[in-house]
């Protein structure tokens, strides 16, 4: 037998790893003190962090919450370089709502709460549809109670009772029992996405007021287009059906929606006090612009990205031209166009709301970036996915919807959320054209004789507001990436 010959006589059993490589000790050894230099750097960094934190806390933790002016703050804190939080106490409501009439604050707050109810079924799959309806009942019930009056109290209590009933039923039957009930033909609650669809029409009414019939008329345009498409596509084919149904909707919106809304509004008025766009301001304005731009830029971006990949020369050229033009121009330029130049091109006497103009510009801007992010996701998909979809007989739209987009969007999640966060922060640029977002408001607050010279407190507060939202979006995107991961589990 030669020296090279070797046969293992028994297979080795599994062993636990050495204690020094697992647990807290193992982690610290691997990540903080892996070498002498590394240990020194770790300790120096720790000292630096502690020093910075103590400097910040000694500035921030000051008993000036009740201060009424800079001087008063100084008296309260006994001098020294400390924060003067009185300005936030006095002005935080303004920083949130701008000049929105205080007796109507419940409307933006309700809209904000409803925003969460509307996006929950889209964002979180683990919240059951019954819990979504519970949330809606609670939000509407609390609002009705707040508005008070006999009718409001009764409606509020009824809604809360309904919510409690659904919640009790949802919590008392477990998942499997419920699945069995449904299999036996138990009635399910309607899909909460119905409310998500209503939300975009309800919110402008809540924020701007006026007649509820106008948003209803606008929503009817979509319903009309849907039925027109269903009917015409069967008769004329899908492309002509699509074009004609878009025309039907446009005709409705341009010529019939407003008279229709006014006519019904004359019979059954459902009005809220109107709030002018110039009274909008503060973080509410940033959120309004941000949510609309985020909500609209994703679908428009998808369409643009697909258009850019299209074989149809004209569609492709239009999409490329649009994307490259918008990306080649600073957002501020577009906002100036919205605030000043657009008026020159519109017929005299047209009253085109300034916030609406800004919304359109910011949305277009975000869409162009979104289109490029999604194009990156599309480019990352192997050709085989398209071929497999084709080979199974899926047509273009079905392949896009079921195979291509779910994967391309998943790949693009980090880029998409970065774009969302970027757009949300860019909403502060509207202060340049005179809209009073938190930054615009902070300028006037700093000009107040009482609060002159205060910078860190105001900007810190505004930064905190934005940080909460941007950080939430960032964490959500990481959660979503984890949830959608389907390999190597």
488 binds another protein (CB under 8 A): yes
CB of 395 to another protein, least distance (A): 6
Element (H, E) at 231: helix 213-236
238 binds another protein (CB under 8 A): no
103 binds another protein (CB under 8 A): no
State whether the Cα torsion 470-474-476-477 is positive or negative. positive
487 binds another protein (CB under 8 A): yes
Q: Which is nearer to another protein, 172 or 486 (CB)?
A: 486
Q: Which is nearer to another protein, 393 or 453 (CB)?
A: 393
Q: Which is nearer to another protein, 388 or 463 (CB)?
A: 388
Q: Which is nearer to another protein, 185 or 382 (CB)?
A: 382
38: Cβ–Cβ under 8 A, 6 or more apart, which residues? 32
Interacting positions 381-420 with another protein (CB under 8 A): 382, 384-385, 387-388, 390-395, 398, 402-403, 406-407, 410
Distance, in Å, from the CA atom of 318 to the CA atom of 304, rounded to the nearest integer, reads: 9
Do 70 and 84 form a contact (C-beta atoms < 8 A)? yes
CB of 394 to another protein, least distance (A): 6
Distance, in Å, from the CA atom of 140 to the CA atom of 150, rounded to the nearest integer, reads: 16
486 binds another protein (CB under 8 A): yes
379 binds another protein (CB under 8 A): no
415: Cβ–Cβ under 8 A, 6 or more apart, which residues? 373, 376, 377
Q: Which is nearer to another protein, 15 or 488 (CB)?
A: 488
Which residue from 8, 175, 482, 489 is in contact with another protein, where contact means CB under 8 A? 489
Neighbour-count burial for 96-123, b at 16+ CB within 10 Å, e otherwise? bbbebeeebeebbbbbbbbeebbebbee
Q: Which is nearer to another protein, 184 or 487 (CB)?
A: 487
CB of 484 to another protein, least distance (A): 7
Closest CA to 163 of 183, 143, 186, 184: 143
CB of 299 to another protein, least distance (A): 20
> How many residues in the chain?
489
Q: Mark the segment that binds another protein (CB under 8 A) among 41-49, 380-388, 427-435, 437-445.
A: 380-388
199: Cβ–Cβ under 8 A, 6 or more apart, which residues? 114, 115, 117, 118
Do 192 and 121 form a contact (C-beta atoms < 8 A)? yes
Q: Which is nearer to another protein, 182 or 388 (CB)?
A: 388
Q: Which is nearer to another protein, 49 or 122 (CB)?
A: 122
| Tokens (6 digits) for 49 | 């962090």
CB of 397 to another protein, least distance (A): 10
Per-residue DSSP letter, 252: I
Which residues form the interface with another protein (CB under 8 A)? 382, 384-385, 387-388, 390-395, 398, 402-403, 406-407, 410, 484, 486-489
């Amino acid at each position: 037998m030669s020296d090279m010959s070797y046969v293992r006589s028994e297979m080795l059993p599994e062993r636990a790893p050495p204690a020094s490589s697992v647990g807290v000790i193992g982690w610290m050894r691997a990540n903080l003190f892996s070498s002498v230099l590394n240990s020194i750097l770790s300790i120096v960094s720790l000292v630096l962090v502690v020093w910075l934190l103590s400097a910040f806390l000694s500035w921030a933790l000051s008993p000036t919450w009740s201060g009424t002016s800079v001087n008063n703050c100084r008296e309260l804190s006994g001098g020294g370089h400390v924060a003067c939080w009185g300005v936030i106490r006095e002005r935080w409501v303004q920083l949130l709502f701008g000049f929105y009439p205080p007796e109507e604050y419940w409307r933006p707050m309700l809209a904000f709460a409803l925003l969460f109810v509307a996006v929950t079924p889209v964002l979180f799959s683990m919240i059951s549809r019954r819990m979504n309806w519970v949330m809606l009942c609670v939000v509407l019930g609390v609002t009705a109670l707040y508005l008070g009056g006999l009718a409001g109290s009764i409606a509020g209590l009824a809604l809360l009772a309904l919510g409690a009933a659904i919640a009790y039923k949802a919590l008392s039957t477990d998942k499997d029992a419920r699945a069995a009930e449904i299999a036996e033909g138990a009635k399910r609650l309607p899909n909460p996405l119905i409310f998500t669809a209503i939300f975009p029409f309800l919110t402008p009414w809540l924020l701007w007021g006026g007649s509820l019939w106008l948003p209803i008329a606008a929503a009817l345009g979509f319903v009309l287009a849907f039925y027109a498409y269903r009917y015409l596509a069967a008769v004329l084919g899908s492309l002509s059906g699509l074009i004609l149904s878009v025309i039907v909707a446009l005709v409705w919106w341009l010529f019939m929606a407003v008279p229709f809304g006014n006519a019904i509004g004359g019979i059954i008025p459902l009005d809220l006090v109107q709030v002018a766009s110039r009274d909008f301001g503060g973080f509410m304005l940033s959120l309004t612009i941000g949510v609309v731009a985020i909500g609209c830029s994703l679908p428009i971006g998808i369409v643009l990205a697909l258009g850019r990949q299209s074989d149809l020369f004209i569609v492709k050229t239009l999409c490329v031209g649009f994307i490259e033009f918008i990306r080649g121009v600073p957002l501020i330029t577009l906002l100036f166009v919205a605030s000043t130049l657009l008026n020159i091109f519109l017929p005299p006497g047209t009253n085109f709301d300034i916030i609406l103009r800004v919304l359109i510009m910011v949305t277009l801007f975000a869409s162009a970036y979104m289109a490029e992010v999604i194009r990156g996701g599309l480019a990352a998909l192997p050709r085989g996915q398209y071929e497999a979809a084709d080979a199974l007989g899926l047509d273009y739209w079905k392949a896009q919807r079921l195979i291509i987009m779910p994967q391309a969007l998943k790949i693009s999640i980090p880029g998409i959320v970065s774009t969302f966060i970027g757009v949300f922060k860019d909403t502060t640029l509207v202060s340049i054209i005179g809209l009073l977002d938190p930054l615009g408001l902070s300028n006037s607050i700093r000009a107040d004789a009482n609060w002159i010279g205060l910078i860190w407190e105001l900007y810190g507060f505004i930064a905190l507001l934005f940080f909460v939202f941007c950080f939430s979006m960032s964490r959500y995107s990481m959660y979503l990436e984890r949830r959608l991961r389907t390999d190597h589990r």
